[in-house]
Structure 1
């Protein structure tokens, strides 16, 4: 729930930014000077890139949530009994073996979005966010290719 609130706050911040930048872009575009017009065009392009990135993140989040709910309903969320840190992360010494096991499953069944998503969950719990996002992207692609 906290992540949804933070996404909402970030989206609201981006909307406010876009509104303010659009105002400045209008002022610069109507200035009539070549430098002002060039800066105005830049101020139009940058928010468009921001909107594109925000939409992509929303799509990623919705697709990932949908797959995680499905995995949860099937009872396939990893629940291994491993040592945890006080914050709930997988302990540093337990992470490599745990990740290796789920990587093996994902490699063995390379067309299974479930295996890729289970790997992502374990990677995230071990603090490997970049790898986890890549695994989630892979799971989303595999689920889409399978028509699920």
Structure 2
């Protein structure tokens, strides 16, 4: 199953859960009393927070997909298929570090080019540092949006 289909399925399940949670909040409001209303407000905040997280995650994913398509059209999409892999399928650590160093050098040479930041984010990802990969990809998205 493609990653997008899994994301759609998970989003649909989350929306159902959030609707049910909002229904519980309404029931607490209808129960009345200070405790019921306060609990209802607290429970209602959870679906609102969930919706905000889903919307921002989808927006980010769509923007990253746009960058990916643009790089692919330019023939510059990162390719690590030739790097050696462990039995688990992950890129060998030394090879990932070498590939990372080359991407970091690209960013240092052209710090305002979103393409370098995109590739650096990809390098962080194959090195297993997902937090830095997300931060770096946000930088790529921000720089690309400034190009327009």
The alignment's TM-score, normalised by the length of structure 1, stands at: 0.91
Q: 1:83 and 1:67, CA in 2 relative to 1: closer, same or farther beyond 3 A?
A: same
- Shift of residue 22, structure 1, vs aligned partner: 1.4
Question: Where does structure 1 lack aligned partners over 5 or more consecutive residues?
Answer: none
Stretches of structure 2 lacking an aligned partner (at least 5 in a row):
none
Normalized per residue, the structure richer in helix is 2
Give the CA RMSD over aligned residues.
1.5
Matching residue of 1:56: 56
Q: For 1:27-82, what per-residue CA distance to the aligned partner results, in whole angstroms no more than 9, with x for missing partners?
A: 10011111111000111111101100100000000000000011011111223543
- Tell me what 1:42 maps to: 42
Give the total of aligned pairs: 147
CA contact (8 A) 2:29 2:36 kept: yes
Question: Secondary structure of the equivalent of 1:94?
Answer: helix
List, as ranges, runs of 4+ consecutive aligned residues in structure 1 with deviation greater than 3 Å: none
Q: TM-score normalized by structure 2?
A: 0.91
Q: Which residue of 2 aligns with 1:29?
A: 29
CA deviation vs aligned residue, 1:85-105 (integer Å, no higher than 9, x gap): 244422012222211110111
